[in-house]
């Protein structure tokens, strides 16, 4: 089982990002997804900077993937998308691409790229749709977090040729995208003049119910879960259904989580012990309902 570090979903200061990936280069992660996927106003690192980080990680032996933006709105969004596809097609530097909307799929197909990754926002829920992506050149499927383990196993079983499958295994769940920036709205600002408030918020802003229960996380135009999706206790069941696990970067302890996953996969912990050990590294309660075909917020099997 391989470990992937998903794209950084938050907006951190430039030096924090560079330091973070320098640390990740030393971690036992196999693949690293890079690039801005959430908000086109986030520019601490431009595409060239991301490609440079990618080269550093590639030199450290990591597979590097450039992720594309989830919500494409403007011509300038498309311009970035085209550049990401070009670098892959031309072999300079030739990193694989994670397609996060059908516009990216079209550009990759037109460019003749044959080893791209079908991202979690493509809404692939059945073998027919996945087969279309495979026929277009997808060689890995990053499953939508809302899909259950049982459902993804059925898709794989029905596919003529197997495809490498990646499951969202750790982090706040990316639940929704909007044109509206909820962080800006919280500060009574408009998106166009948001003052880049995200920069001072490492892990998004917690939205609580009026009973004080943490419920969601505001991350600019993205809404995440407040709870941390955590499949450590489910690893025996995940093995056999997927070849890769995605860990979503969080403000603190990402490297510790990566190391814990590696240790758990190597059999150094029982599932229950692995979950217990992760508690010290988590800022919020765990959940795993989606994997079990239930409400995502649930921690279905208490450990």
Partner 1 sequence: MTSSPIELVCPAGSLPALKTAIDHGADCVYLGFKDATNARNFSGLNFDPAQVREGVAYAHARKRKVLLALNTYPQTDNWSSWTQAIDRAAEYGVDALILADPGLMAYATRTHPQLRLHLSVQGSATSYEAINWYHEHFGIQRAVLPRVLSMAQVESVVAHTPVEIEVFGFGGLCVMVEGRCALSAYATGESPNCNGACSPGKHVRWEDTPRGMETRLNGILIDRFADGERAGYPTLCKGRFEVNDETYYALEEPTSLNTLELLPELARIGIRAIKIEGRQRSPAYVAQVTKVWRAALDKLKSGGAEGFSVLPAWMAELNKVSEGQSHTLGAYYRPWK
Binding residues for [4Fe-4S] cluster: 39, 181, 194, 198
Among 290, 291, 299, 303, binds partner 1 (CB under 8 A): 290
- The least distance separating partner 1 from the CB of residue 160, rounded to whole angstroms, comes to 14
72 contributes a contact to partner 1 by CB under 8 A:
yes
Residues 246 and 142: beta-carbon distance below 8 Å = yes
- Tell which one of 90, 115, 123, 239 touches partner 1 (CB under 8 A): 123
Using CB under 8 A as the binding criterion, the count of chain residues that bind partner 1 stands at 70
Report CA torsion sign: 83, 84, 88, 92: positive
Burial of 56 (0-12, 13-18, 19+ CB in 10 A): middle
76 phi/psi in degrees, rounded to 5: -70, -30
Q: How far apart are CA 283 and CA 298, in angstroms?
A: 17
Q: In 3D, which of 205, 202, 166 has the Cα closest to residue 185?
A: 205
Strands 244-247, 2-5: pairing is: parallel
Intra-chain end-to-end CA distance of the chain, in Å: 23
The binder of partner 1 chosen from 10, 182, 196, 261 (CB under 8 A): 182
Give min distance, CB of 182 to partner 1, in A: 6
In the complex, least distance from residue 225 CB atom to partner 1, rounded to whole angstroms: 6
Out of 43, 46, 114, 180, name the contact with partner 1 by CB under 8 A.
Answer: 180
Distance CA 21, CA 254 (A): 11
- What is the C-alpha to C-alpha distance for residues 29 and 4, in angstroms, rounded to an integer? 6
Q: Out of 44, 49, 52, 77, point to the residue binding partner 1 (CB under 8 A).
A: 77
Residue closer to partner 1 by CB (options 21, 141) is 141
Lookup result for tokens 């040729």: 161
Query: Binding to partner 1 by residue 178, rule CB under 8 A?
Result: yes
Site mask, partner 1, residues 218-257, x = CB under 8 A?
x----x-x--------------------------------
The H or E element containing residue 229 is strand 222-230
CA dihedral 7, 9, 13, 14 (to 10 degrees): 20
Q: Using the rule CB under 8 A, give the single segment among 8-16, 42-50, 162-170, 200-208 that binds partner 1.
A: 200-208
Q: Are 220 and 8 in contact (CB under 8 A)?
A: no
**Position among 56, 111, 175, 237 found at the interface with partner 1 (CB under 8 A):** 175
Using CB under 8 A, which of 173, 238, 247, 258 touches partner 1? 173
Q: Which 127-146 positions form the footprint of partner 1 (CB under 8 A)?
A: 127-132, 144-146
Residues binding partner 1 (CB under 8 A): 70-75, 77-78, 81, 101-107, 109, 121, 123, 125-132, 144-146, 151, 154-155, 157-158, 173, 175-182, 185-186, 190-192, 205-213, 215-216, 218, 223, 225, 289-290, 293-297
């Amino acid at each position: 089982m391989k470990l992937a570090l998903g794209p950084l979903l938050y907006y951190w200061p430039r030096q924090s990002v560079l330091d973070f990936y320098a640390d990740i280069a030393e971690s036992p992660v196999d693949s690293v997804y890079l690039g801005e996927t959430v908000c086109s106003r986030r520019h601490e690192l431009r595409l060239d900077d991301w490609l440079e980080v990618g080269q550093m990680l590639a030199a450290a032996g990591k597979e590097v993937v450039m992720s594309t933006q989830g919500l494409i709105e403007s011509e300038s969004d498309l311009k970035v998308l085209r550049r990401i596809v070009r670098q892959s097609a031309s072999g300079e530097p030739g990193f694989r691409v994670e397609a996060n909307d059908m516009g990216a799929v079209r550009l990759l197909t037109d460019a003749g790229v044959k080893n791209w990754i079908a991202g979690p926002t493509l809404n692939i829920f059945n073998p027919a749709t996945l087969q279309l992506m495979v026929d277009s050149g997808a060689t890995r499927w990053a499953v939508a977090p809302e899909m259950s383990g049982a459902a993804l196993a059925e898709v794989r079983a029905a596919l003529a040729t197997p495809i490498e499958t990646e499951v969202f295994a750790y982090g706040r769940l990316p639940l929704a995208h909007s044109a509206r920036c909820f962080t800006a709205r919280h500060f009574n600002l408009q998106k166009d003049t948001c003052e880049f408030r995200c920069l001072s918020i490492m892990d998004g802003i917690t939205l609580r119910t009026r009973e004080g229960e943490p419920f969601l996380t505001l991350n600019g135009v993205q809404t995440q879960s407040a709870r941390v999706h955590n499949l450590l206790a489910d690893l025996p069941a995940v093995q056999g259904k997927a070849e890769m696990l995605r860990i979503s970067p969080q403000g603190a302890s990402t490297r510790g989580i990566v190391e814990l996953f590696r240790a758990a996969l190597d059999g150094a912990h029982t599932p229950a012990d692995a979950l217990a050990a992760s508690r010290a590294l988590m800022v919020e309660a765990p959940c795993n309902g989606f994997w079990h075909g239930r409400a995502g917020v649930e921690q279905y099997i208490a450990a």
